[in-house]
Structures are given as structure tokens and as C-alpha cells.
Structure 1
Amino acid sequence: MKLHKLSLIAAALILSGCAAGPDYQPPKQTLDTEYLYQQTAGTSQQAVLANTSPWWYQFNDTMLNQLVADAQHQNIPLQIAAERIKAAQAYQNVVESFKVPTISLGAGYSSFGLSENDPLLGPVVSTNNPLGTALIDSSQEAFHAGATIAWEMDLFGRIDKQAQAAAIRKEQADIFREGLTTMITSDVIHNYLQMRGAQARKAIAAGMVRDQEETLTLIEKMLRSGYGSELDLARAKAMLAATKSVIPQLQTAESVHQQRLAILLGETPAGMKARLSQSQLLSASQPVPELSGIIPTGLPSDLLQRRPDIRIAEREMAAVNAELGAAIANQYPKFYLTGAPGVLAKDFDDLFSSDSAAWIANIGVSWNLFDGGRNEALIDIQEARFKSSALSYQHTVNGAIGEVETLLYGYGNSQQYQALVLESKAETDKAVKKAKSLYAAGLVDYLTVLDAQRQQHMMADRVIAAKLQTANLATGLSKALGGDWELQ
């Protein structure tokens, strides 16, 4: 008997080193040392510095900073993601619990009676037997208390692999929330900039309407005096109507982005409108926020640790590899230890005496020797999933590099476009001043001044559009580069 126990222990020690499944090796990527458009103006190859203010503080807009902070605390999808993290942690705890014995306690009272007509035990409890007396009482009762212990010895690492997979799924939930924070934050910045741009363009359009109404009034006076033409009058009316038609569109754009901000912050549309209208930080006269600083791009290899989508893809490979190991271990024997120590007595007063001790212990093995190829098929599924996740990881990395390159190129061109538009705006400002001087000297009519002002307003609108384009590309580039966007 002792030799048998020793042989079981020895076998367990030997098999405990036979954890099944391939060891996970993180993927290795060979990337360029710098981006193709690394020399883009307004960027630097230096990495993101630690303990610095969030990058969007470079817009120098207090209202924007407050909206982002509120969104990160109030956004409903972010709260849902936080609950998913809790669920993933709980699931990990569930799987981890299978590594340790399960112990349950119980106690109770039992009573039963034996029939004298029972074909097996009836003669024992009946007096109608050769001895003329019952050997045992037909009525029995007992008190009992004890524990039940069950444990699966994870000799081949099946449970351990499942626990590893569960832990990785929890990591993925954490990373997903980081990525969602980045997306929500960039969405807040985008919609805020678009709302401010719509407000500024609406103010410019209102100025254009005033100038064109002056032009129309002047042409009507000239026509009544016999010096104007019906063609000039029709053109002036058409231009005024076209400019007025832009204002409702800009009002719609302002409202749409305002409603979007309300959704992102988990507020009501009325609450968001009141917040913005009561703010002393917003006015049509204030310029549209512009980024004042350098965007640190880092190295292409930095994306592997900074981009949430790449990190999730890598963790998916690790999780599937662990699940593959669990599937491989599942084809080996499973060993179980069970025990039920306790006390049993007829009278409650005797329940906890030394003579009332009772116990039962078992060691068992379960091995599925034939299942029609089911387990092999499950292993094939996991192997296919791992190869698929590896390809998905490579595709994600390629997409991330391509996205950064595209936005770097676009950001550089947008800055050039903005510079040229600003140069053109400066020239139209000069033209307005010159036209006013000539008009004061009596060398040109007032229509020339109004036309110069119209060109000035049009270029001012283009400047706003160019600044918005540059700011949105800066936001997109910062998002593509990844990093920590969460406020502490």
C-alpha cells in the first residue's frame, strides 16, 4: 500500500514538469529607423517626454481642456469599458480559482426507517427470524458535520494555460479602454474645433452680408439715377442670396457639433448649450484655437508600444497561444483528489467526540482515449486562430505605419496651404486699405471698395478653413502616434 502511494507521488512529480503547449514568443518586427516624411514641419523625432502636460494643452484653450477632462470622467462608453474591465478581472479570478482545492462545509441531521418486508434488510430488522429478535433497529437517526474537498492536479498545465488566457483578456480590456479614451478625446477635440470654426465662419458670413447689402443699396441708387444696370443689380442680388444661404448651413454645423459634444460628455443637449452659452471663454471674436508646439513622432518602432490597436493585436496572439496550450493539455489524463473528513454520531452530544470521526478519500484519473478526433480538431482550430492573429497583428502594424505616414504628409501640406492662404489674406487686407485710400481721393467708386472687402471676407473664411484643417490633421496625427491620452 505504501509503495503504491509513493509511486503515485513520484508520477505526479514527474508529470508536473510536462506542461503542454508551445511557449509564447512575442513577434519581432523589422521597421525603418524613421518615417518617410519625418522632416515634416512642426514635428520632431524625439519621443514623448514623461510628466508633461497633455498634448492638446498646446491649443491654449481653457474650455477645450475642461471639455476633455469632463468627457474622460462622464463619457458613457468609457464607463461601459470600465465595467468590462471589472468583468474581465472577475472572470480571471474564476479561472484562477480552479488551481486551488474547492472546500465546502456541511452539517445536518438524518433519519430513516427500514422496512421489515425489505427483501434484503427485512430479516435483519424483523423479529420473524431464526433468532427471534431484531439484529438492528428499524428506525435510525444520526447527526453529521464535515467538509468536502476536491482538487484537480494540473499536471499538464491545462488550468494554468486557461488562467494565462484569462489574465491576457483582462489586459486587453485595459488596453481597449485606453484606446477608447484616445478616440473619445480626439473626437471631443475635433468637434470642439469644428464648432468654433463654424462660429467664426458664421461671423465672417454675417459681415459679408452687411457689405453686400451696402453694395446692393448703392447699385439700386445708381440704377434709379440712370447710371446703373440691371445686370449689376441681378448680380448683386444673386451674390447676397448666395452668401445668406451659407449662414443656415453654418448654424446647422455649429448645432451638430454641439450635440455631438453633449453625447461625448454624457450631457443633455440643453445642458451643453447652456454650458457653452454661459461660458466667458467663448465668443465669435476669439480666434480659432491653433496648435502652438511640436508634435513628437518618436521612432516607427515606438508605435508597437504606444498604439492600443497594436498592443491588443499582440495580446490576442498571446491569449490564443495560451488557449492552444490548454487544448493540447486537454488530451492528456486528468487527476483528481477528493476527500470528505467529518464526524458522525447518533446523538448530538457524541458528535464531536474522538470516536465520531469519519472520513473518505479518493484519487482518480480521467482520460478520454477516443472522441472521434474532436480534440484534435479543437487543437487545429486554435492553431488556425493563432496564425490568423499573427497575420492580423502584421496587418495592424502595417496599417499603423501607413496611417502615420499619410497624416505626416497631409499635416506638412496643410501647413503650407495655411501659410499661402495667410499670405493671400494679407494681400487682400492691403487691397482694402488701398481701395479706401483711392475712394477717399475720389479716384475710384465705392463699388471698388465693397468688392475689395468681399474678397477680404472670402479670404478670411479660407483662413479659418485652413486653420481647422491643420488642427484636425494635428489631432489625427497625435492619435495615430498613440501614447497615453488619459488624464490622471
Structure 2
Amino acid sequence: MKVNRHTPRLAHFVSLSTPLQGATPAARQSRFRGVSRTGLSAVAAALVLAGCSLAPKYERPELPVPSAFPNTAAPAAQQPPAATIAWQDYFTDPRLAKLIEIALANNRDLRVSVLNIEQARAQFQIQRSALFPTLNASASQTRQRPSATGIGNVSEVDQVSVGITSWEIDFFGRITSLKDAALAQYLATEESRKAAQISLVSAVATGWLTVLSDDEFLEITRRTMETRDESLKLTKLRFDNGVASEIDYRFAESQAETARAAYAQQQRLRMQDENALALLLGSPVPPEAFAGSAAGLQALAPIQDLPGGLPSDLLTERPDIRAAEQQLIAANANIGAARAAFFPRVTLTTSIGTASNEFSGLFQSGTKAWSFAPAITLPIFDAGRNRAGLDSAQAQREIAVAQYEKAIQTAFREVADALAGQATYDEQLRALIAQANAEEIRFKLSDMRYRNGIASGLDLLDAQRSLYTAQLATAQARQAKLQNQVALYKTLGGGWSTR
């Protein structure tokens, strides 16, 4: 049923109730036969008309982003989408896989997301139950004395009945719209749980790579500290013998202490990063997670590059976008419920049972009792409440549209950033490795010249500082490249699929 106009804003609620209850068994049975036919006809008509929806037809908004990602070509047909690649197949290092398993089992944020799904499912079932009549059975006994003086016989009425308690017949789809909104909220919660798992898997992988990078930084700093201590001893010896100036000696001392300060700082950051990883896991980090970390990130198995795909793929692969769309669908359904508030509500209350003055005669012939009470509530005047409710629902839908489009734009930016990293990190890392190799040769030559008295101590210490900076930059670029691959897997919707 399609309705394009709404009733006026006026609204005073008029209740029309028609309780029918016979006084005598014969009269009750006669009236019951006539009313039962009418009641059955009304219920049949209600079932035919029920389910008509006043909600606007849902249409997915247009993509508010370009039709293609930058820095990428269209993926080959045989390449599966990143979201379909199980995280066990993408993160192949057994140490990292073990950490992700621990996090999926123990992370409290993910546990809350799972419980939110259970709550949303229950709310949907509660809302869905309103579409069906509620049958209740009741039994009662009434004893009374007709005179306040206590003189007279005590009267007793026993009654047993089964009936429908205030069932709203959904002529205009109000309850159906609310049920659809609750279903969309439930589905959005399920998608949010998947998005939470994606974020958790990505965060664990990034945190693990960060700790491994810290170990590599510590090793570089430790070697630099040993080299500078050796240079300090040599400079001190030359200073004591009048060959080197005090300026050379103090500068060598400063560089050695700078390396010690950097080493202490790296130790602190390493401990803090491990604590952050433990929080993600929901339990202490097992010692074997960093076995062999002294070899550095370059010893890890390479992580495969991923195709960027097309922006339209994000609609089906990213759970956070699907969750935003379900929120939009829920807001669209709420408009139907707000529109239905302008139209009459029909409720039905019935009961059938037996009544007797004595318990022993409760189920004898002629003791049947029933009631049939349909009620119509028509809005006449409500001071603009229904109109305000409709305006609020329409505004909420516009908000949901904006949030859905923002989710798509954010996803597009995240994928584009990760693809930009994938296109440039290799060249940056190659250049930094070449620079570090050149600085290492320069340091060796400077050290040789200094020991033979050809170069000054300042030249040697400058070569040491340049080598340390180049090695740290190389390690940081290697860390950034690996973490960018993790980010690309996440932004393309990977991480919730599992084997």
C-alpha cells in the first residue's frame, strides 16, 4: 500500500471500545456467534492489510568518490579480493599467528562487540514479537459479602479464561517498520563486530612489528654505543699524549653519552610497546613471540602485495561501510513508523473461558464466558507531536546518509594512502640501504685515516653519527613498509575472514 499524503496535524485520541459480554448463557452464545463471525472477518481483513509499509523505498546513495583508486591498476580477474584472504594466509609467520589467536580469544573490546550482537538480536526478537498476538491464561476467584454488617451469604465467583491481550493489528506497517529498523540495527552490530576484528588483527600485527623494530633499533644503538666508546678511549689516549685537542676529546665524550641516552630511550619505548601489545592480547605476551628478533625485520618472510581493486568493491568488502549502510536502512524504516503514527491504530482484546459460582461447576454446561473488544485510536490533535516525530526521522535519515558517505570517503582515503605507500616505499628503502652502505664505507675509511693520523677526530665522529642516522632511517623505513602492507590489508577489508 502506497500513501503519499498524511493526515492533518490535528489530533485528539478517541478510543472506540466495544466490549461484548453476554448476561445469560443463551444470550452470550447467540451474541458470540454473530460477533465471532464479525471478529473473524475483521481479523482476516487485518491480516490482509497488515504489512502495508509507509517507509520510503530504499535506494543506495551514489558513490561520493572517484571511480578508480590512484596509484593502482584494475586487479586481474584471478586475484581474489583482499577481504576473502584469511588472515592466517596473509600473516604467515607462526609467532604472529599465535598472537592473533590469543587476541581473538581474550581481547575485551572484541568480547564486548560479540555481546553487543547478542543484545541487538534480542532487541530484534522483542520488536518482532509485537507482530503476533499474545495469548495469556488467567484464573481468578472472587469472594464477597453483600452487606457491610456481615449479615448475608458469602458469594463466590470462580473464573478461568484464555485470551489475546491488546494486540495491535498492523494496518499501516508501523510495527513492521520498527521490526525492520531493529533488524537493520542487528545487522549493523554484526558488521561492527567484523570491523572490530579487522582492527584488532591489524593492531596486533602492527604492534608486533613495532616491538621487532624496537629490538632492531636497540641493536643498532648498542653497536653505535660500543663504537663510540672505543673512539672515546682512543681519543682520550691521543689527548693524554698531546696528539688530539681537548675539543676532539670532549666531542667524542658527548657523542658516547648521546648514544647511551638513545639506548635508554629505546629500552623504555620497547617496554612500553610490549605493554601495549599485551593489552591488545588481553594476556601477557609469550616470550617466544620475539624469538630471533635480533635478526631484525629483514629476516621476516615478505608480506605479499595486494591489488587495490575498485571503489565499488569497498561496499561489499568493508564491514564498517556495510554497518553504516544498515544504519541508513534502519533510519529509512523509522520514517515508515513515523508516517504510520498519523493513521488510526486498531487493537484487539479478546478472552474466552468459564465462570461459575462454585468451583465444582466451573466446567459444566452454560458456564462459558467471553469478551471481544476491538478498539480504534484516531489521532485528532497532538500539538504537532506526530509531525515533529516524522521530521526527526527524516533528519535522522539525512544524518545516516551523510555518515554513510563519510564512511566511504574515509575508506577511499585510507586505501589511497596505503596504495601510495606501496608504490613508494620500495624505492625509499632501496635508496636508504644504499646510503647506509655508503656511510658504512665512509666510516671505515675515516676510522682508518684517524688511526693513521691523517684525519681529525671530528671527521671520525661525524662519520659515526651519519652512519647511525642512516642505519636507523633504513630500519624505520623497513618497519613503515611492513606496517603499510598491514594497513592496506586492513583498509581493503581483510582480517575477518579465517580458515
Using structure 2 for the length normalisation, give the TM-score. Answer: 0.83
Letter in 2 for 1:340: S
1:396 lines up with 2:429 in the alignment: no
Given the superposition, is the C-alpha separation of residues 282 and 44 from structure 1 closer, same or farther in structure 2, using an over 3 Å criterion? Answer: farther
RMSD: 3.1
Counterpart-to-counterpart distance in 2, 1:469 and 1:249 = 20
Worse overlay, 346-355 or 284-293: 284-293
SS of 1:423's partner is: helix
After superposition, the C-alpha distances for 1:88-111 in whole angstroms (9 at most, x for unaligned) are: 111111111111111111223221
The corresponding residue for 2:72 is 38
Of 366, 371, 376, which aligns to 1:355?
Answer: 366
User: Which residue does the alignment assign to 1:308?
Assistant: 319
Q: CA deviation at 1:307?
A: 2.1
Structure 1 354/29 Cα, relative in aligned 2: closer, same or farther at 3 Å? farther
* Residue pairs, 1:20-39, within 5 angstroms: 20-29=54-63, 32-38=66-72
* Contact 1:290–1:471 under 8 Å retained in 2: no
Runs (5+) with no aligned partner, structure 1:
118-124, 127-136
Aligned residue pairs total: 461
**1:485 and 1:99, CA in 2 relative to 1: closer, same or farther beyond 3 A?**
same
Residue of structure 2 in register with 1:19 after alignment: 53
Question: In the alignment, which of 129, 138, 152 is matched to residue 106 of structure 1?
Answer: 138
Give the distance between the partners of 1:295 and 1:420, measured in 2 at CA.
23
User: C-alpha distance in 2, partners of 1:54/1:379?
Assistant: 45
Please state how far the C-alpha of 1:341 moved relative to its aligned partner: 1.1
Equivalent-residue separation in structure 1 for 2:138 and 2:488 (angstroms): 63
| Cα gap change, 1:54 to 1:11, in 2 (>3 Å) | closer
Which residue is 1:132 aligned to?
A: none
Q: Which of residues 64, 69, 89 in structure 1 aligns to 2:96? A: 64
Whether 1:338 and 2:338 are equivalent positions in the alignment is: no
1:207 maps to what in 2?
A: 223
Cα distance in structure 2, aligned partners of 1:50 and 1:381: 36
Aligned partner of 1:264 in structure 2 is 280
Partners of 1:306 and 1:484 within 8 A in 2 = no
What amino acid maps onto 2:308 in structure 1?
T
- Please state if 1:423 is matched with 2:434: yes
- TM normalised by structure 1 equals 0.85
Shift of 1:250: 0.8
Q: Per the alignment, do residues 54 and 350 of structure 1 end up closer, same or farther by CA in structure 2, a change over 3 Å counting? A: same
Whether the aligned pair in 1 keeps the contact of 2:84 and 2:497 (CA below 8 Å) is no
Contact 1:111 1:141 (8 Å CA) reproduced: yes
- The answer as to 2:269 corresponding to 1:236 is no
Deviations, residues 366-400 of structure 1 (Å, cap 9, x unaligned): 11221122101110111111122212222222222
1:59 and 1:483 mapped to 2: Cα distance?
Answer: 11
- The CA deviation at 1:218 is 0.8
Q: For the residues of structure 1 that align with 2:498 and 2:164, how far apart are their CA atoms?
A: 47
Q: Which residue of 2 aligns with 1:196?
A: 212
- The correspondence for 1:54, drawn from 82, 87, 91, is 87
Q: How far, CA to CA, are the matches of 1:417 and 1:480 in structure 2? A: 22
The match for 2:381 is 370
Aligned equivalent of 1:131: none
Relative contact order higher in (CA < 8 Å, ≥ 6 apart)? 2
C-alpha spacing 1:144/1:394, structure 2 compared with 1 (3 Å): same
Which amino acid is the alignment partner of residue 291 of structure 2?
L
CA 1:453/1:349 → structure 2, altered by over 3 Å: closer, same or farther?
A: same
Greater mean alpha carbon deviation, residues 181-190 or residues 341-350: 341-350
Change in 2 beyond 3 A, CA 1:412/1:332: same
The code of the aligned residue for 1:295 comes to L
CA distance in 2, matches of 1:312, 1:4: 46
Instruction: Between 162-171 and 176-185, report the one with greater CA deviation.
Output: 176-185
CA shift, 1:355, in A, is 3.1
Q: Residues 110-129 of structure 1: matches in 2 within 5 Å?
A: 110-115=142-147
Partner SS for 1:379: helix
Greater alpha carbon shift after TM alignment, 347-356 vs 93-102: 347-356
CA distance, structure 2, for counterparts of residue 106 and residue 192 of structure 1: 63
In the alignment, is the contact (CA less than 8 A) between 2:106 and 2:281 conserved in 1? yes
AA partner of residue 145 (structure 1): V
Q: In the alignment, which of 381, 403, 417 is matched to residue 406 of structure 1?
A: 417
1:248 to 264, 289, 293: 264
Distance in 2, matches of 1:143 and 1:6, equals 28
For the residue of structure 2 that corresponds to 1:295, the secondary structure is: coil
Q: For 1:432 and 1:73, locate their aligned partners in 2 and report how far apart those are by CA, in whole Å.
A: 50
Residues 336-370 of structure 1 show CA distances to partners (whole Å, capped at 9, x for unaligned) of 22111112223323222333322112222111221
- CA positional deviation for 1:157: 0.6
Deviations 1:263-307 (A, max 9, x none): 11112xxx33xx23x557244234454643121222111011222
Q: In structure 2, how many angstroms separate the alpha carbons of the residues matched to 1:220 and 1:7? A: 109
Q: Does 1:77 align with 2:93?
A: no
Give the counterpart of 1:284 among 264, 288, 294: 294
* Maintained 8 Å contact 1:107/1:145: yes
Q: How far did residue 419 of structure 1 move?
A: 1.1
Rounded to whole Å, the distance in 2 between the matches of 1:394 and 1:49 is 22
Task: Give me the identity figure in percent.
Answer: 26
Q: In structure 2, the residue corresponding to 1:245 is in which secondary structure?
A: helix
Q: Does the CA contact (< 8 Å) of 2:82 and 2:306 recur in 1?
A: no
Counterpart position of 2:198: 182
Q: 1 CA distance for matches of 2:281 and 2:232?
A: 45
SS at match of 2:481: helix
Partner residue, 2:475: 464
